[in-house]
Amino acid sequence: MIRKRKSDDVAQDGAVRPTLLLAWYDRHRRRLPWRAPAGERADPYRVWLSEIMLQQTTVKAVGPYFEKFVSRWPDVAALARASLDDVLRMWAGLGYYSRARNLHACAVAVLRDHGGIFPDSEEGLRTLPGIGPYTAAAIAAIAFDRRTMPVDGNIERVVSRLFAVEEALPQAKPLIQQLASTLLGPARAGDETSRAGDEKSRAGDSAQALMDLGASICTPKKPACALCPLNDDCAARARGDQESFPRKAPKKSGALRSGAAFVVTRGDELLVRTRPEKGLLGGMTEVPTSEWLAGQDDAAALEQAPSLKGVARWHRKAGVVTHVFTHFPLELAVYTATVPPRTRAPEGMRWVPVATLADEAFPNVMRKVVAHGLGM
């Protein structure tokens, strides 16, 4: 449900909003490491890389990772020729590690199947690993000026406030997508979809303008409405309840899971293993752990400790390591042990020097575990 207005007003606003938005963007566009300077063509590789990294992650967190990646792998062909282990190591700490696996698989597919050139349409982009509807639309618009509107969290917020969309997310997504598309402005006669690289199309700028507006002005809390180029026409601002949009259905939080992590040292080496490729934290490095289960007690978790010669007893560290995944919170008790020199690693595990742990593909939860276990 949205605020009802006269059809003539809606038509007039529909023509004016895109112009106001782009004029604002031309003056206030953010400088981002992956964004092409005004008037220059965007690099599809940099657009794609940034969009994958930005999924469920902030611009501030992504910046350093993006710079590291493009410094080491300046184009999609270089990334495709890298090993997955190297990509995972570079990604470590950014979270949602399936993105890194898909990133590498996508680079391989672009090089193998497309000669190192990204498809320039949403349909072609969606055939690639790790590229869904939103990412395909974002790349198509920003890199190729295809006439489409990607809708991220910032755009959802701007649009839901502008039109006072009462329906709650995620059910409101189709309506918000439809309304966001009106901010592209009217299509040129006989041209419903602009050609890739058409200089008269500014679909990419329209999308990035809305993203910037949501990030810098139409913020979740205390939006700076006085500075917004669309403020005179914002339904939520007229009502005075901007911060209540977008409407959101209550989140269901998963049950707490518990487990144990085992930090074993052999001199200046640490016992680690690689998680299975499929599933949570796939392909990442970890110390041995028990299963992570709801309602699991310490005794049951301790029974899953790795079998090692020379370990008479495990020492439990005070406190627990906590971490929150998308679907559940986790608590890990940390147990430590020291084994004699030349102790062999159990099958599927290996010893790595403590001095080189920064080079391992540890997810954040494991970095917490290691720091707790080693007292770092």
Q: Could you give the residue numbers annotated as active site?
A: 51
Look up tokens 């041209």; give the residue: 191
Residue of 234, 218, 231 lying closest to 156 (CA atoms): 218
Coil, strand, or helix at residue 289?
A: strand
Q: Measured between alpha carbons, how far is 64 from 87 in angstroms, rounded to an integer? A: 15
Q: Are 35 and 201 in contact (CB under 8 A)?
A: no
Cα 33–chain centre separation: 16
Q: Torsion angle of alpha carbons 99, 214, 61, 334, nearest 10°?
A: -80
Coil, strand, or helix at residue 269?
A: strand
Residue of 248, 296, 276, 297 lying closest to 348 (CA atoms): 276
Q: Are 284 and 325 in contact (CB under 8 A)?
A: no
